[in-house]
Amino acid sequence: MDKFRAVALVALSLLLIGCVPPAPRATRTPHATVAPSPTATQPPGAPTIGFAFGVEYMLPGGLAAVYSQLGARWARSNTSKQFSWGTIEPKPPAADGQHTYDWAEADKIIAEWQSAGFRIQAYTNANNAWASSTRLHHIPDPKYMDDYEEFVFNLVERYDGDGDRDMPGLKAPVLHYTVVEEWTGYFEGTAEDYLRILAAAHRAIKRANPQALVGLVDFFLIDVFDGNPSSAEVERRAAKDHPLRHPMSEVRELLRHPDLFDIVEIHALGDYTELYPTMAWLRAEMRKNGYNKPVWIGDALPVSSLLMPITPRGLLPGAADSDYQTVAPIRPQDAVRTIGWLEAVGNAKSPQGEVAERWWRAVQARELVKKIGVAIHAGYAGMNLAWLVESPLTRTPRITGSWGFQGMADAEYNLLKQTWSVNSLQPAFYAYQLAIRKLDGYTAVERLQMDEGIYAYRFTVRGKPVYVLWREPGRLHFPDEAEPTPASVNLPVEFAQALVTHTITRLGRTEADAEAMAAQGGVLTLSLGSAPVFVEGR
């Protein structure tokens, strides 16, 4: 778990209190028509044919072996420390200009995760106390820019796999470097400041290894695209500044420099409704500037993490719905109700603890599969699912929303041994594993036109069709209320006998429920609820 993100999120929440007006409420439009993407090709810079499944943020101490069971083959580093300039070069160069680098932490994390079969993506930044006079040390002073560029060159050189000054035991080159972790408070400068850093990093990366890919800083744009808004609504939201991000004018400015990056990246801490409009907007900006580059999703969560106080009363038990900002699938009128159920999750003292735990883990699992299906169809190159483990320190929904409840493992860290002990794996782990088994290696995908509220995709995987379907209820339903009645759907299929596999949503289950069904006249009749199902020929 990235401790800095926890601190930053708390600080940001406190910053919002009393000084930010309520954001415009998102309208969820789950049945929006989207043009099909009939063929999956390999975009420039994409790592594989199809979709790259990954995890984030990789931690040392035994989790790599656990997560290797997923079938995901990509892993991204911790944002603020592992490959940071200040971590690797904590002291300025000697009087003769000689640099001393400490590769211990970076080497350790790469060795562990590569041994578990993962390909590594690295966040790196220019944060360094001795090289900067800015408050958070994000921006090197001009006199130290050459030293920063030298650091990046040596970083890439150590992990380029050419045998020259490589890390001992390196199993594969590291070919993906994201320059600065997030275009929010993680970077205190302007677009001009960032572009100077990016230009230096780009020169260094390409000089060390021309095959290495440069990732543009990840954009966090949930307030603009949450809920799948119309184009007009996107422009209205984008025109307003928001404390969660830098101005959209600066986002556009960064996208005007395709010569400095190979990959565009976003952080997706909302639910899947932000993915289609975000991609459409990014592609439009790329077209304006005459290029087309792959888009990666990092820092991904299955469900929105944002349930944030916008008044001081939001931190207190007597808060009202109006004291919070919510995004899909949490409705504005459900803010306090959501907090109440989240506070019961895993709480042994709460009479609703077990019910809340079962409910939340089911929500987390089913929303993850939805996000995967939409991300693939929308044309993203890959997605790294974040939050491998949870920390009790982040289970503070009045401050951190649902973020502290989205780990894929119930695990404990032993400070003396510096190892993780996994007590159990959450349904989201097995749901992700199932989705990878069913969809990895797909070569084509299209969205089927169905009744309102029905999502249906047809994937071609290893030459055979695999369908993913669900009924979207349009909001978060709670344990003390019934979800909408399942919908009866007629699905045209190419096979007479089908295997219908249900997303794992129940605690304690490691294998999905599957049932054999017969199609009648080329049509399979399904009863669809909010948990996605996978349909394929027997």
Instruction: Inform me whether the pLDDT recorded for 24 exceeds 70.
Output: no
pLDDT of residue 358: 96
pLDDT of residue 15: 33
Measure the CA–CA gap between 266 and 482, rounded to whole angstroms: 35
Residue-wise pLDDT for 242-284, tens only, equals: 888 999 999 999 999 999 999 999 999 999 999 999 999 999 9
Q: What is the CATH number of domain 445-537?
A: 2.60.40.1500
* Total residues belonging to the chain: 538
Measure the CA–CA gap between 19 and 517, rounded to whole angstroms: 56
Per-residue pLDDT band for 43 (boundaries 50, 70, 90) equals very low
Instruction: Inform me whether the pLDDT recorded for 38 exceeds 50.
Output: no
Q: Residue ranges per domain, the chain?
A: 75-111+120-215, 445-537
Q: Which residue has the higher pLDDT, 192 or 36?
A: 192
Instruction: Inform me whether the pLDDT recorded for 370 exceeds 50.
Output: yes
Instruction: Map tokens 């949450």 to a residue.
Output: 226
pLDDT of residue 49: 53
Q: What is the mean pLDDT of residues 167-179?
A: 97
441 token code pair: 């290696």
Residues pairing with 516 in the sheet: 499
Contacts 24+ apart (CB under 8 A), 409-413: 409/63, 409/66, 411/63, 413/61, 413/389
Query: Residue 387: which region, alpha, beta or left (left: phi > 0; alpha: psi -120 to 50)?
Result: left
Q: What is the mean pLDDT of residues 289-312?
A: 93
Instruction: Map tokens 């940001």 to a residue.
Output: 12
C-beta separation of 432 from 408 below 8 A: yes
Residue-wise pLDDT for 194-220, tens only, equals: 999 999 999 999 999 999 999 999 999
Q: What is the DSSP letter of 263?
A: B
pLDDT of residue 307: 84
Dihedral angle over CA of 277, 279, 284, 287, nearest 10? -170
pLDDT of residue 254: 98
Distance, C-alpha 202 to centroid of its chain: 24
Instruction: Map tokens 């299906």 to a residue.
Output: 373
Residue-wise pLDDT for 318-345, tens only, equals: 999 999 999 999 999 999 999 999 999 9
Per-residue pLDDT band for 81 (boundaries 50, 70, 90) equals confident
